[in-house]
Each structure stands twice: as C-alpha cells, then as structure tokens.
Structure 1
Amino acid sequence: MTCDRLVCANCAAPVNEGRCPVCRASRERLQQQEGVLGALTPAALLVLLVALVAVAVLARSFAG
C-alpha cells in the first residue's frame, strides 16, 4: 500500500504531504513496511513473472 491516496484523520490532508506528526509517522511506517517488492508496481511484477517463465522455458528446452 502506498500513502498517495491516504487522507490523515488528524488534519484531513494527504498523508504523503506529512503536514502533521500523525501524517509523518504513518508515512514513515508505511515506507518501512514496503520492503523491496513494495516499491514495484503491478505492471513491473507482471514483467518479472513473464521473464521468469521465459527463463524457465528456455532452461527446459536446453536441458531436454
């Protein structure tokens, strides 16, 4: 989840702007939870999956 569309219940501003301490804390927590794959878009994950399948098919054709 990203904080692009989240609205702070404390100040009613977008969380990604970090206007109040609650926004800044929520933004920091979300950024820590994202990890490596959290920054990837669904399209990028789909491209990685297609590439993995292509490598698997190539490896199987060379092995047989």
Structure 2
Amino acid sequence: MAADWLVCANCAGRVSEGRCATCRAQLARQRERGPWEALTGPAGLLALVLALAAIALVVARPA
C-alpha cells in the first residue's frame, strides 16, 4: 500500500516514517514490487478483464 496515513500497530507511528522494524520491512516490500504488482489481486484482474472486454466491443462494433 502506498498510503502515507497508515499507522503501525507495533509503534503507533506512520508506516511511511519507518520507526520500527515492522515499518521498515513494509517499506522494503513496497520498494520491491514491480509495476505489474497491482494486477495480481482480484480487483486488478477484474479491471484487466473489463478493459479487454471494452476494447473487444469497440473493435467488433459495426461501422
């Protein structure tokens, strides 16, 4: 997650500040993710399927 307002349950600080080991580990995981990471979840896959369906409808529509 890239939200700056997330609060750590371990140190009660913002995760983006990296106060404790848990926060720093989460920040490291966020940096390791690639640009295609959003498509691995159910919402990302659904968005991809809907976008492909919309493209198929536009291409298949008669002139």
Q: TM-score, normalised by structure 2?
A: 0.47
Considering fraction of residues, name the structure with more helix: 1
Q: TM-score, normalised by structure 1?
A: 0.46
Q: Compare relative contact order (CA 8 Å, sep 6+) and give the higher one, 1 or 2.
A: 1
